[in-house]
């Protein structure tokens, strides 16, 4: 009998170089729109990354307001400030990395003034409608453009997630030209982040399913080939388009088969040390792959066959080859480092382990249970 599962994703995805230059025309076709709010960050504004999209909107008579104050790991205050500008907008547009897109998701709901932000935290707690939502990513990593998840910084060290199908966008536009010129370090961090999404979706304990598996496999194949090339030559749009597509496919996979231990242990590193999310995933990945090996050996062996040839015959050896391949990819893109290389203090490892154990939404998806002692040992290995 076929496995029972559910699968949801964004209903309209446009993929192609320069597609963001048709934004105004596409919005006029899809929505009743006279005014939009673009949610982004100050760096993208200064770089002129929004210029073509804004010109397209202006050419079709759409009034444009821009909120350009998004920060990495956005706090509640940013969400609320952006909402003040969103009240009159017909469409909310997230333009940027995961933080801008996460902010846009929640602002699209908050601008309806039907529910307060604290009431949304957790799974399936949104009771409000939302305004039309468009997502235009400028990195190839988070997959946030196609997920129903938004993460908010809620305290000095803590983050809270909002998970609801209400947060799926109405339209996603993947324009690789927006990635041209991205620094190699960000290319590496976001690319490994996307690969972690694919791996954790493929090994997710509770909701892994045939559709998420197919998306994860395709994502991993695309990213493993394109990421090292995009890292070396960031101005080639073909490599950029492949990384962008791979990140989106991985996003669709983990939106339906949620991520697990790597993310659970990465979040405290971001919360306490304010390290980039993709970097923290990369730092923890090889250690958690080895920790999970006994429980995920068949899955790892299957993934190895996608990335490598001339593999050993036995399953365990193939699985170990997969872990080695992921370590070599991290080395190729300059991410084969330790926590201490980024200022993490050894004395803080128990605090990190304590904070990681609070990530129950993620830990339940890990193929192997992670205790406090396990988490502390994993941080020690990564240190």
**Mean pLDDT within 45-61:** 96
**Mean pLDDT within 364-369:** 97
CA atoms within 13 A on the CB side of 24: 18
Among the ranges given (75-79, 130-134, 215-219), the one the predictor scored with the smallest mean pLDDT? 75-79
When computed from its CA atoms, the radius of gyration of the chain, rounded to whole angstroms, is 20
229: confidence class by pLDDT, cuts 50, 70, 90: very high
- If you write DSSP's letter for every residue of 98-159 in order, what string do you get? HHHHHHHHHHHHHTT-SS-GGGG-EES---S----EEEEESSSS--GGG-SEEEEE-SSS-E
Containing 371, the helix (H) or strand (E) segment is none
Yes or no: say if 111 and 87 are a contact pair by the CB < 8 Å rule: yes
Rounded Cα distance between 14 and 50, Å, is: 17
- If you write DSSP's letter for every residue of 4-42 in order, what string do you get? P------S-EEESTTGGGGHHHHHHHHS--SEEEEE--H
The pLDDT value given to residue 271: 83
pLDDT for 2 beyond 80: no
Yes or no: say if 263 and 366 are a contact pair by the CB < 8 Å rule: no
The pLDDT value given to residue 55: 97
**Mean pLDDT within 84-97:** 97
Q: Which long-range contacts (CB under 8 A, 24 or more apart) does 299-307 make?
A: 299/202, 299/203, 299/367, 300/203, 302/202, 303/199, 303/202, 303/217, 303/220, 306/217, 306/220, 306/221, 306/224, 307/220, 307/221, 307/224
CA atoms within 13 A on the CB side of 238: 2
What is the pTM (predicted TM-score) of this model? Answer: 0.94
> What is the signed CA dihedral for 371, 372, 374, 376, rounded to 10 degrees?
170
3-class DSSP assignment, residue 171: strand
The pLDDT value given to residue 73: 82
286: confidence class by pLDDT, cuts 50, 70, 90: very high
**Where do the H-state alpha helices sit in the chain?**
23-30, 42-47, 51-59, 76-86, 98-110, 184-202, 210-232, 237-256, 261-273, 277-307, 315-332, 349-356, 360-363, 372-382
1: confidence class by pLDDT, cuts 50, 70, 90: low
Question: For 24-47, what is each residue's pLDDT tens digit?
Answer: 999 999 999 999 999 999 999 999
Yes or no: say if 91 and 111 are a contact pair by the CB < 8 Å rule: no
Average pLDDT, the chain: 95
Of 333, 195, 209, 300, the closest CA to residue 251 belongs to 195
3-class DSSP assignment, residue 66: strand
Question: For 131-168, what is each residue's pLDDT tens digit?
Answer: 999 999 999 999 999 999 998 988 776 778 899 999 99
Question: For 235-284, what is each residue's pLDDT tens digit?
Answer: 999 999 999 999 999 999 999 999 999 999 998 998 889 898 889 999 99
Q: Label the pairing between strands 91-96 and 35-39.
A: parallel
Q: Label the pairing between strands 149-153 and 159-163.
A: antiparallel
The CA distances from residue 262 to 97, 145, 186, 286, 338, in Å, are 20, 21, 19, 9, 15
Go through the domains of the chain in sequence order and give each one's CATH number.
13-179 (3.40.50.1970), 184-382 (1.20.1090.10)
The vertex-229 CA angle with 304 and 149, nearest 5°, equals: 70
pLDDT for 326 beyond 80: yes
């Amino acid at each position: 009998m076929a496995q029972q599962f559910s699968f949801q994703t964004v209903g309209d995805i446009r993929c192609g170089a320069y597609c963001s230059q048709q934004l105004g025309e596409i919005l006029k076709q899809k929505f009743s729109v006279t005014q939009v709010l673009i949610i982004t960050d100050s760096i993208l504004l200064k770089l002129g990354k929004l210029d073509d999209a804004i010109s397209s909107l202006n050419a079709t008579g759409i009034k444009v307001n821009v909120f350009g104050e998004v920060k990495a790991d956005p706090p509640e205050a940013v969400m609320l400030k952006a909402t003040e500008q969103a009240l009159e907008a017909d469409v909310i547009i997230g333009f940027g990395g995961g933080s801008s897109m996460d902010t846009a998701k929640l602002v699209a709901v908050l601008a309806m003034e039907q529910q307060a932000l604290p009431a949304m935290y957790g799974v399936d707690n949104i009771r409000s409608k939302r305004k039309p939502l468009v997502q235009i990513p400028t990195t190839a990593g988070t997959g946030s453009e196609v997920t129903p998840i938004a993460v908010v910084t809620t305290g000095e060290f803590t983050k809270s997630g909002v998970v609801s199908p209400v947060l799926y966008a109405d339209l996603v536009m993947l324009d690789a030209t927006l990635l041209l010129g991205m620094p190699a370090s960000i290319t590496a961090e976001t690319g490994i982040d996307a690969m972690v999404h694919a791996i954790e979706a493929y090994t997710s304990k509770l909701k892994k399913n045939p559709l998420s598996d197919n998306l994860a496999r395709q994502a991993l194949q695309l990213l493993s080939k394109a990421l090292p090339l995009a890292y070396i030559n960031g101005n080639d749009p073909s490599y950029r388009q492949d990384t962008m597509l791979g990140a989106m496919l991985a996003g669709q996979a983990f939106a339906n088969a949620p991520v697990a231990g790597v993310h659970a242990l990465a979040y405290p590193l971001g919360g306490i040390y304010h390290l980039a999310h993709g970097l923290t995933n990369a730092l923890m990945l090889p250690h958690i792959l080895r920790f999970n090996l006994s429980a995920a050996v068949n899955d790892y062996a299957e993934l190895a066959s996608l990335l490598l040839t001339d593999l050993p015959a036995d399953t365990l050896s193939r699985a170990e080859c997969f872990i080695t391949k992921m370590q070599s990819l991290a080395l190729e893109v300059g991410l084969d480092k330790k926590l201490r290389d980024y200022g993490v203090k050894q004395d803080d490892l128990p605090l990190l382990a304590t904070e990681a154990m609070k990530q129950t939404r993620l830990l339940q998806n890990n193929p192997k249970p992670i205790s406090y002692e396990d988490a502390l040992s994993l941080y020690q290995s990564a240190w």
